[in-house]
Structure 1
Amino acid sequence: MENRYQEHQSDFKYLLIINDDLECEIKIRREGNASEKNLKDNIFTIKEASDKELEDIGRIYDLFDQFAIENTRYEKIQMDKKAFIKFALNIKPILRDNNAELISSKEIIESDLKLIMDTDLKENEFSLKKLNRIKWIVRLNKGRIALRDFDKQTENNKEILITRNYFFILNRNEFLDIKFYASSLLKTTENSEILKLALSEEIDGFKFEVGENLKRLINPSRVYEVPRTLKGELRTYQKIGYSWLVQNIRSGFGSILADDMGLGKTLQVLTAILYFKEKGLLEERPSLIVVPPTLISNWEHEIRKFTPELSYYIYHGTNRRFPLEDYDIVLSSYGVIRNDLDLFLDKEWFLYIIDEAQNIKSPHTQQTKAIKEVNAYNKIALTGTPIENRLTDYWSIFDFTNKGYLSSLSDFKDSYVFRIERLEDERSLENFLAITKPFVMRRLKTDEQIKGELPDRIVNDIYASLSKKQIKLYNAVLDGIFEEIDELKGIERRGTILKTITSLKQTCNHPAQFLGSGKPKIKESGKMELLITILENIMDMDEKVLIFTQYVKMGEIIQDLVSKKLKREVLFLHGSQSRNEKAEIIDRFQEDDNYKILIATLKTGGVGLNLTAASNVIHYDLWWNPAVENQATDRVHRIGQEKDVMVYRFITKGTLEEEIDSIIKTKLDLAEKAISVDETFITEMTTEELKRALSLRL
């Protein structure tokens, strides 16, 4: 052997040959003149080594000693996983400097790790109930492996993973994080908990990655076609809101639509219901819509205007009878649900929608408990108030739409309320916003993408119902009046008609205005109840509002009832005040943030004033002339106004107010020419036309 070495006079290198069992054998390769195919002839064992080769080989074994890898000199070195990691990280990089090469049965790769959460679900398969089909994957520098297999193959907690082609030496910190959370993640099978993980992309601060497919499914951007039978057009942001509702319903996500007042929440919801009607999904299960009594008429009007294809039934009032026939929508109120709960529990509902959802913000009231007992395939809550400002209120509404998702109230207080509201913990806030994002949509009038779509003033017709007392008074005013009018002529006839119109308008406003009684109550007037509801929302938004009425007496009633109910001072601007008094009231409203509500008679507040501090206008009673009404609104919407103005026109359903408003709208282009500046055009109607216009239609 010695002769052979001397004969070739070749240099040599040490070869460290590692097999699948992590056994390392050191051999010598002598560089000679052998051909490539006979290269193996140049590789020798330690027993065949020359003295010189044996002398230098000691330096290789010294490296193993240096890093505390057990070995016996000149013998094969059997490494365990811990030793192999030391070898790969410390010895492998310096082999070349020690005249050595590595030959391994698998490629040795130092690898970073990334935990990925994903799914194979397709869009038409995806729903909250199927989220347990989630996949946890560990991505390596080359390839990926299922977390369950990764966890099993690294049971000894050594940061090495052996696959068919590779020895992966794993990033220690990333490895320890994944190992620490692997068991917990693999045991998480509750769909809502899986969704929270996907949305937050973390567990206790440990960040993982959500795959593109799952990310697309939980944050869809699809815009659905508008139902063909919808009467009217949706603005772009309304199409987005409607599509979001449809997608959430399909996915099994409850929704909180919290757009600003006036942005069309009712229309977006009705469009979503119409979508499922056209898909044939309302045939066996109707949708239940629960609203404050003051809004029933408004919902009815919106259904008839925009979605006449949807059949509806109003279950409300003292003589109510639960419908035996099938309807697309059953419209009811919070109090009725509480009183007739068993009837609603016996019915299968497709959608269950509550409007003015702040009515269930107190989780322990009987009303809230009753509302939450009714089950449905999907639930939607509508509110115009910024619920995120009060987290416990948020929890109660969220518990309606997605029961259990935010855990119990006590757990929620510990996990979020205390940390966010008391400790101002940014991480808890970020997590909270992340896990609730798919379920809540809130757009503001001030959002740049919304402002571009809105007109400078947004006019909303709001419909009120008469109270029982108002119905009796209304019918009493009309009792025998048409026979009397029929016998009159000329100025006497016109005078009687105008007197009747005034009496009916005052009755629609409030019985106390017509009767002159001194102790008015909110519940005696449908308009007054509606006014309180809208004012509460405006106050929640910390905005100012201007309320117009034609009558000083009605202004006094509004001032009295609103100030007592909302416990705040209400300003009143009217004609009998001096110039200085008016100026002082206007300055207080314009400049002092403590004054949010100003009432003004139409003739006093409607001309020559600048009231741009208000971003809301309420016409409590209508003048029936568009020019006069617009002139009043312009007190708010004029140079200096930096906000879009929301205008609310109160109309009492089934009364002369609704009929006359309809007549005016059909003649809108000719309104200023064809209709006089007051109600005198009505005096020219025939008695039959008057009956149609003035008679009560319930």
Structure 2
Amino acid sequence: MIALTPSFTLKIVPDTINSNQDPALNSWIDIFTRDWRHGLFHLAAQKNSHHDSQLNFWKDFADKFLTALCHIPEDIPFYTPTCPASSELSTLTAEAPPMPGGEYLDAHALCSIWTSLCNWITSQIESSGTLSAFLKKQAPKWNQVGRVWFHLAENRNDPEYPFAFMATFTSGFTPSGKLRHIPLRRALEIYSGKLNSPEEINRSNTGSRSHPNQKAAGTLITLLIPVNNAAKKLPWVKEMVDSGEIYNPVPWNPDNAHEFLVNANELETAGLSISIPDWWKKRPAPKVTVSIGNKAASILGTSALLDFTASIVIEGMEISEDELKQLLNSNANNGLLLFRGQWIEVDHESIGQAITQLEHLRKSADGGFISFAEGMRLLAGASHGLADNRRNSIDTDKINFTAGRNLESIISLMVDPSLRNCPEHEKFTTATLRPYQKDGLSWLHLQTNLGFGACLADDMGLGKTLQVLTLLSIIHNSKIHSSKIRKSKKTCSNTSSEKPSLAIVPASLLGTWKDEAKKFTPGLRLYFLHPSENRKGDFENIHEMNDTIFQEHDLFITTYAMSTKLKWLSEQQWRLLVLDEAQAIKNPEARQTKSVKNLKADARIAMTGTPVENHLVDLWSIFDFLNPGLLGTMGRFTRFIRELQQERHDHYRPLRQLISPYILRRLKTNPEIISDLPEKTEIKSFCNLTKTQARLYAKILGHLKSSLENSSGISRKGLILQTMLRLKQVCNHPSQLSGDNVYNHSESGKFARLSLICDEISQRQEKVLIFTQFREIIDPLAQHLKTVFGKSGLLLHGGTDIKSRKKIVDHFNTDEDSPFMILSLKAGGTGLNLTGANHVIHFDRWWNPAVENQATDRAFRIGQKKNVLVHKFITRGTLEERIDAMIEGKRELAEQIMHRNDEINITELSDRELIDLFSLDLEKALA
């Protein structure tokens, strides 16, 4: 596979292209590895096509570049071809297959790659001498000159013979870069020797750029080989050759012209080039045109029924069934007919098929309506294979589906949230939303009000949780408002806004949701369905209580594991069902996936930072949760994807068009986002303990309690510091405490959290610095991250000599194949400039803010062009969480135990305070 990097270069992902011992492909891989620009050019210069859809996509893009290059005249100073229009590049982007780095693919990225090719070509021309010499060597298929052409032109001034035929030969290029045509008779005179003097040939080519390849400048027999090949296959060509008409312009009637047009492929196979009217090239077969959703639906959501109207169109003209019958009767045989001032092909078979498709469509509709999901599939061109068997009788290639007025307005708002005014939110959140967050809120508000599932796939650090909490706070306000009205009218109606919402999150994010809700949406009434926040007995059978609990709370929050245990969750109708880190349900067969999908809600939101559309099976599972049925059943979707993968790249476009209205993804690298972001964003990443870690933690704590009574002075300080060190080691990994060097990643909550974050960083092709104060854990972390990133990283610690440090730093900042660097906190805290990273992870805390900030600043330095995201790992229910709270809260106790250098002085605490600080909250730690 070819990957697009964040810096808009291309690279081959190792071991993903199967060359099958193909020397040509192996040669191309070598060229691409040395210089991706040369590899991309070489890909277009070859005539071979590939089964790999990614290779074909980049080959087609390079073909566009080479085509533009070939139209540069030689007789003026060399200049590079202009990048195609943004609209054309956007079309290419929509047709792109899934690929690593596909989230960076847009018009800007393609234009950047175009510019890189231009720079490479310029350097090659300087060493080759001329463009022609370079293309002759590097692109042999650039041989458009020296060929015989058959032309068909219109002549509407002659009703009897409205067409004309002419044969020409291309002798070179005109000054404007177009092929120069001379009559075939003139070419024969030149190459047969009658006018074959140097002066005559020079006069014939004056002002043109002659192709340096002289294959065509041979004998008369060589020149006529393509004509003779065509004459052997097509009687009308043989007749023209025998009569000599082939060498002169000839008037033709519609039957002659139609015979020429339908034989176009045979002419090209014989080696001829052809020039035909545009209306024939672009002519569509007779199609049924269907307009979907002209009227507003009575209900919303993917199950809504949409109206549709259908008609038959030929050559862009809507034709009634009576007119079709007249066309068929007026032309007993297939042929050309001038209809309403346009030439159309009367094809009895295709017209009959269009009529049949119209009948199938009408029969398959339910009372003249189709579901919203099916309507969206039809509009995207993805209905075949995903719909039920009744729909699969419809040949969508022969039907043109368009969105009606009402549906078109809805889709435009779904695709571009900036077109819709942001709902009033200022009084429902203490945060000041950034422009892109307002767009996200507006989009979520629209999607959920319409009853659609929405996938919020913003980059880490862009505030997905804040946007969702603000939306919930708006809904909460509506709930209070409707409650007041209900009380004043003494009614007991149950409106949608009165239903509580449910959020299911990883256990490690419970603290994040609690903290952000407290900070940004304090009016939102939360209830945690988890033993770390409430006693299990209080909520296990909450559904058997009266409705007061649901009326008094707006948002219930639980974990994926707990959601499978609380069976009553599926009995409740929720207003919104929100999944954070929604990739947790990517496995359709997993128990928790099935459990979550059984929950009932008016609308659903999936939050994920992973580009889900690059993982097609995961995509189906998440969409089966968001909008069930939109992507068909798993079996149908699998077959549908298999068919796409067997086709060329542009056949992925239907899938992209189908899912794009329901996915909102903004990257930190987007120009409109990066200018609005703070230069540094800090995030607390909460981790849990495994059972092994919790057991070791409790054992160490027990030893501390029994030892404190008999210790004092220096021995007491030594005991406390040793205990603190051992507890920090346990929070990192049990193997760090035992020294067994096993480091099974499943035994550490921090290792699991590190995998989750770095997997997303890896898929974004970004870089990360990991700081730890323990040198002994650096190698185990490196081995673990190698499995996450699929490649090795770099290490820097106190044992790294000064000379090697600079080489390591330079390598990290410039080499895209070094995705991570692990540093000991003190060795990496000073004197380094690591601006190649835009993520910083503090794996364990120094508890000295000054030291941590100094380490963070290794990435956040002058020259940093990216926004830096800082993740601080905190193990819940342990001393790490409590000391962090003390530092953040500036409590009186924290002030008492702070030295002037801001470093925590734990040894000054009393025994009781110390035990409280070190204590283990099992409910939180094992969440």
Is the TM value for this pair above 0.5? yes
Match of 1:128 among 286, 301, 306: 301
- CA–CA separation in structure 2 for the residues paired with 1:510 and 1:127: 50
List per-residue Cα deviations over 1:307-352 (Å, max 9, x = no partner).
44232223479x95525154544444444555x4855444433333
1:313 matched residue in structure 2:
528
One-letter amino acid matched to 1:291 = V
Alpha carbons of 1:135 and 1:207: their partners in 2 closer, same or farther (altered >3 Å)?
A: closer
Match of 2:627 among 394, 402, 407: 402
Q: Point out the more displaced range, 624-633 or 176-185.
A: 176-185
2:773 aligned with 1:550: yes
Alpha carbons of 1:413 and 1:514: their partners in 2 closer, same or farther (altered >3 Å)?
A: closer
* Secondary structure in 2 matching 1:312: strand
Alpha carbons of 1:690 and 1:407: their partners in 2 closer, same or farther (altered >3 Å)?
A: same
Q: Point out the more displaced range, 240-249 or 678-687.
A: 678-687
Q: How does 1:341-490 map to 2 (within 5 A)?
A: 342-415=567-640, 418-419=643-644, 421-426=645-650, 428-479=651-702, 481=704
1:238 matched residue in structure 2:
437
Does the Cα contact within 8 Å between 1:201 and 1:207 map onto a contact in 2? no
1:290 matched residue in structure 2:
504
Query: Normalization by structure 2: what TM-score?
Result: 0.54
List per-residue Cα deviations over 1:46-92 (Å, max 9, x = no partner).
xxxxxxxxxxxxxxxxxxxx9xxxxxxxxxxxxxxxxxxxxxxxxxx
* Secondary structure in 2 matching 1:350: strand
TM-superposed deviation, 1:484 = 6.5
* Secondary structure in 1 matching 2:455: strand
List per-residue Cα deviations over 1:271-322 (Å, max 9, x = no partner).
22333232226886443333344434433443444344232223479x9552
Does the Cα contact within 8 Å between 2:686 and 2:873 map onto a contact in 1? yes
One-letter amino acid matched to 2:410 = L
2:739 aligned with 1:516: yes
2:424 matched residue in structure 1:
225
- CA–CA separation in structure 2 for the residues paired with 1:228 and 1:628: 38
Does the Cα contact within 8 Å between 1:623 and 1:678 map onto a contact in 2? no
1:31 matched residue in structure 2:
none
- CA–CA separation in structure 2 for the residues paired with 1:259 and 1:417: 28
2:423 aligned with 1:250: no
Larger Cα Rg: Structure 1 or Structure 2?
Answer: 1
Does the Cα contact within 8 Å between 1:115 and 1:137 map onto a contact in 2? yes
TM-superposed deviation, 1:583 = 4.6
Alpha carbons of 1:402 and 1:158: their partners in 2 closer, same or farther (altered >3 Å)?
A: farther
* Secondary structure in 2 matching 1:234: coil
TM-superposed deviation, 1:486 = 8.2
- CA–CA separation in structure 1 for the residues paired with 2:913 and 2:302: 59
* Secondary structure in 1 matching 2:628: coil
* Secondary structure in 2 matching 1:547: strand
One-letter amino acid matched to 1:462 = S
One-letter amino acid matched to 1:477 = I
Q: Point out the more displaced range, 235-244 or 219-228.
A: 219-228
2:887 matched residue in structure 1:
664
One-letter amino acid matched to 2:424 = E
Alpha carbons of 1:554 and 1:297: their partners in 2 closer, same or farther (altered >3 Å)?
A: farther
One-letter amino acid matched to 1:276 = I
- CA–CA separation in structure 2 for the residues paired with 1:468 and 1:563: 26
Which consecutive unaligned segments of at least 5 residues does structure 2 have?
1-159, 161-287, 329-338, 384-395, 414-419, 480-494, 543-548
Does the Cα contact within 8 Å between 2:379 and 2:401 map onto a contact in 1? no
- CA–CA separation in structure 2 for the residues paired with 1:237 and 1:401: 23
TM-superposed deviation, 1:242 = 2.2
- CA–CA separation in structure 2 for the residues paired with 1:518 and 1:222: 57
- CA–CA separation in structure 1 for the residues paired with 2:888 and 2:736: 27
- CA–CA separation in structure 1 for the residues paired with 2:719 and 2:324: 98
2:467 aligned with 1:268: yes
List per-residue Cα deviations over 1:604-632 (Å, max 9, x = no partner).
11211222222211011122233221211
- CA–CA separation in structure 1 for the residues paired with 2:295 and 2:846: 62
2:183 matched residue in structure 1:
none
2:919 aligned with 1:695: yes
* Secondary structure in 2 matching 1:270: helix
2:823 matched residue in structure 1:
600
Alpha carbons of 1:466 and 1:412: their partners in 2 closer, same or farther (altered >3 Å)?
A: closer
TM-superposed deviation, 1:183 = 4.7
- CA–CA separation in structure 1 for the residues paired with 2:343 and 2:604: 46
Alpha carbons of 1:425 and 1:513: their partners in 2 closer, same or farther (altered >3 Å)?
A: closer
- CA–CA separation in structure 2 for the residues paired with 1:364 and 1:473: 34
Match of 2:409 among 216, 226, 247: 216
- CA–CA separation in structure 2 for the residues paired with 1:201 and 1:414: 12
* Secondary structure in 2 matching 1:228: helix
Does the Cα contact within 8 Å between 2:789 and 2:819 map onto a contact in 1? no
- CA–CA separation in structure 1 for the residues paired with 2:596 and 2:789: 25
TM-superposed deviation, 1:601 = 0.6
One-letter amino acid matched to 1:609 = L
TM-superposed deviation, 1:432 = 2.6
Say what the alpha-carbon RMSD is for the aligned residues.
Answer: 4.2
2:782 matched residue in structure 1:
559
- CA–CA separation in structure 2 for the residues paired with 1:555 and 1:678: 26
1:277 matched residue in structure 2:
476
Query: Normalization by structure 1: what TM-score?
Result: 0.70
List per-residue Cα deviations over 1:353-386 (Å, max 9, x = no partner).
3333333334345554444344433222222112
* Secondary structure in 2 matching 1:604: coil
Alpha carbons of 1:640 and 1:331: their partners in 2 closer, same or farther (altered >3 Å)?
A: same
Does the Cα contact within 8 Å between 1:616 and 1:646 map onto a contact in 2? yes
TM-superposed deviation, 1:509 = 2.1
1:539 matched residue in structure 2:
762
1:530 matched residue in structure 2:
753
Q: How does 1:180-199 map to 2 (within 5 A)?
A: 183=359, 187=365, 188-197=369-378
- CA–CA separation in structure 1 for the residues paired with 2:631 and 2:345: 29
- CA–CA separation in structure 2 for the residues paired with 1:134 and 1:471: 60
* Secondary structure in 1 matching 2:668: coil
One-letter amino acid matched to 1:121 = A
Does the Cα contact within 8 Å between 2:796 and 2:828 map onto a contact in 1? yes
- CA–CA separation in structure 1 for the residues paired with 2:617 and 2:904: 54
Seq. identity, %: 36
- CA–CA separation in structure 1 for the residues paired with 2:345 and 2:871: 58
Alpha carbons of 1:219 and 1:675: their partners in 2 closer, same or farther (altered >3 Å)?
A: farther
One-letter amino acid matched to 2:425 = V
List per-residue Cα deviations over 1:177-234 (Å, max 9, x = no partner).
9977655665352221123445679963755654544322233323112273434333
Alpha carbons of 1:128 and 1:178: their partners in 2 closer, same or farther (altered >3 Å)?
A: farther
Does the Cα contact within 8 Å between 1:257 and 1:442 map onto a contact in 2? yes
- CA–CA separation in structure 2 for the residues paired with 1:482 and 1:676: 29
Q: Point out the more displaced range, 633-642 or 201-210.
A: 201-210
